[in-house]
């Protein structure tokens, strides 16, 4: 039976990220698989009481800056785990959608994520468990982490 060849880790920089990364690294080494680390910058514009985006002239967030900072954090955490060969990627969006898109585009065969946290499986699933699972074309490993 084929081993895993391309493993995607959803990294959220929470306290549990190290545990998830260590587990993913172990599996990648054992399978001699390519490893990709993905962080999604969940940037939500403030909304008003009618749930419409506010377009206030005196308010602005530099999205590029957010992505740049996340990129630095991702490089740092991957270096700390000795993952010098890993493919690092930061995108702006929602974890549910971006993880699934990355898996499809890059033909990953395993997604490793924490059981909790902003990129954790419980958040990914939430009330749309079936939708996400149907949409994910590969295996999913939820690594147990403390809340």
Chain positions contacting its own copies, by CB under 8 A:
1, 3, 22-23, 26, 30, 115-116, 121-122, 125-127, 129-130, 133-134, 136-144, 147
**Of residues 26 and 72, the one with the C-beta less far from its own copies:** 26
Provide the minimum distance between the beta carbon of 54 and its own copies in the complex, in angstroms, as a whole number: 31
Question: Which residues have C-beta within 8 Å of that of residue 133, sequence separation ≥ 6?
Answer: 125, 140
Residue 45 to residue 34: CA distance in whole angstroms: 35
CB of 141 vs its own copies, minimal distance in Å: 5
CB of 98 to its own copies, least distance (A): 19
For the CB of residue 30, give the shortest distance to its own copies in the complex, in Å. Answer: 6
Beta carbon nearer to its own copies, 35 or 70: 35
Task: Annotate 36-96 with three-state secondary structure.
Answer: EEEEEECCCCCECCCCCECCCCCCCCCHHHHHHHHHHHHHHHHHHCCCCCCEEEEEECCHH
Nearer to its own copies, 30 or 69 (CB): 30
Residue 89 phi/psi, 5° resolution? -145, 130
- How remote is the C-alpha of 78 from its chain's centroid? 13
DSSP 14: S
* Nearest approach, Cβ of residue 60 and its own copies (Å): 35
Is the Cβ of residue 2 or residue 54 nearer to its own copies in the bound state?
A: 2
Q: Is the Cβ of residue 22 or residue 79 nearer to its own copies in the bound state?
A: 22
């Amino acid at each position: 039976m084929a081993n895993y060849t391309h493993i995607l880790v959803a990294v959220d920089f929470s306290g549990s990220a190290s545990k998830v990364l260590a587990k993913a690294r172990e599996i990648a080494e054992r399978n001699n698989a390519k490893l990709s680390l993905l962080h999604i910058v969940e940037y939500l514009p403030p909304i008003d009481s009618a749930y419409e985006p506010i377009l206030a002239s005196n308010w602005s967030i530099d999205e590029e800056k957010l992505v740049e900072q996340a990129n630095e954090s991702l490089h740092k955490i991957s270096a700390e785990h000795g993952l010098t060969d890993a493919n690092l990627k930061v995108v702006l969006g929602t974890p549910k959608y971006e993880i699934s898109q990355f898996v499809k585009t890059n033909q990953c065969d395993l997604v490793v994520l924490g059981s909790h946290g902003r990129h954790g499986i419980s958040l990914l699933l939430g009330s749309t468990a079936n939708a996400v699972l149907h949409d994910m074309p590969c295996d999913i490993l939820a690594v147990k982490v403390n809340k």
